[in-house]
Amino acid sequence: MGKNVSGLLALVAALVSFVFYSEEALADQCQLVPAGQAAAAVIHLRPGRPFLQLCEPCGQHFDPASASVQRVVEAVDTVDASGLHRVLLNGHEIDLAYVFVRARGGSFVNLARLSGCEATDVSEQLVVGDANNAPGALGSSAPYQNTQQFVAPTPVGMPVVAAPPIVAPPPVAPPAPQGLVFRYAGRVVTTSGTAPTLPGASCTVQVQQVTNSQHNNCRVEITCGGQTLYGRANSGFGVCGFNSVRTGLIFRSTTTTVTMQDQRTTTQDGDPSLRLSLPGGVVVVQDVLSPVNVWTVGLGGFRQL
């Protein structure tokens, strides 16, 4: 009898271990990712943006009627001891494969897909909302003009009022570039969506100081594989941070680091959004042109020319 009980307990323990091991193996898909993918994820997790969490490979099922919609408070990119990156969302580590962020039209798009991480057994998008698809409700087709501004669910019993359209200001002629020019060479590390270039393509980033403008101090142009990703025509102007660092003990040299962040996309100011830190950091270019035309390009491996 004792042997039978011991054998039964061992079998139960083995089954429990198998279940937990299986869930863990299924769950960890895009938890540790390259720098470019983590940076792209943080760009998509702007403060205030609604998101859902759903681990489909773990057995969770999506129910539109009871879906719990949260909002981004803070998203942080951290480096693991292995050199890969983790993303903390509202203080908790996440797997990009099981987070869905709200996109145009009211659907929630998989964050791993937007960031360029390959994930399996997960939906590309989820739709939340009522059957009438009322404007302003989650699941609505009502567009929003700014990716940092999202339409909140209308409280029960309150009338639904459509927001007035946002009228873009008339275009202003940009200042002519002047001052020093800094050039960097790198390559495409990761892409997602309808990206106009491919991983491995050679890239050139040119940052030119602007000295005759009250609002901008630089113009950035990024070209990869013959395609201009950022800074076409009279766009690419912004506010850059410049910092010169002297290196070397015997043969001293000066390296200039440049940082810039542009959170608006082409539909808002004429060029994609940009996160830039050179030469030792990463460059992420992202654009949202329509619900089905969303892309992200992560660049790395830079050296100053």
The chain-wide mean pLDDT, for the chain, equals 75
Q: Are 257 and 243 in contact (CB under 8 A)?
A: yes
**Per-range mean pLDDT, top range of 49-53, 154-158, 166-170:** 49-53
> Is the predicted pLDDT of residue 140 greater than 50, yes or no?
no
pLDDT of residue 165: 57
Q: Which of 304, 302, 257, 305 is nearest to 284 (CA)?
A: 302
Average pLDDT, integer, range 45-70: 88
pLDDT of residue 26: 44
Q: Are 129 and 137 in contact (CB under 8 A)?
A: yes
The amino acid at residue 301 is G
Q: With cut-offs at 50, 70 and 90, classify the pLDDT of residue 98.
A: very high
pLDDT in tens, 249-305: 665 566 678 888 888 888 887 888 898 888 777 789 988 877 677 888 998 888 888
pLDDT of residue 39: 84
In this prediction, what percent of the chain has a pLDDT beyond 90?
15
pLDDT of residue 129: 59
Length of the chain: 305
Please give the Cα distance from 39 to 85 (Å, whole number). Answer: 9
Contacts for 238-245 with beta carbons within 8 Å, 24 or more apart? Answer: 238/262, 238/274, 239/215, 240/207, 240/209, 240/276, 242/209, 242/218
Backbone dihedral angles phi then psi of residue 10, each to the nearest 5 degrees: -65, -40
> Is the predicted pLDDT of residue 154 greater than 50, yes or no?
no
Q: Are 300 and 282 in contact (CB under 8 A)?
A: yes
pLDDT of residue 220: 92
pLDDT of residue 223: 92
> Is the predicted pLDDT of residue 90 greater than 60, yes or no?
yes
pLDDT in tens, 186-238: 899 888 888 888 888 999 999 988 887 778 888 999 999 888 999 887 788 88
pLDDT of residue 131: 33
Residue 177: asked if its preceding bond is cis (omega within 30°), the reply is: no
Give me the torsion for CA of 217, 218, 219, 224, rounded to 10°.
Answer: -150
Average pLDDT, integer, range 166-175: 54
Average pLDDT, integer, range 141-154: 38
pLDDT of residue 278: 83
pLDDT of residue 174: 56
Q: Which residue has the higher pLDDT, 279 or 16?
A: 279
Q: Which residue has the higher pLDDT, 172 or 124?
A: 124
Please give the Cα distance from 266 to 275 (Å, whole number). Answer: 15
Average pLDDT, integer, range 43-67: 87
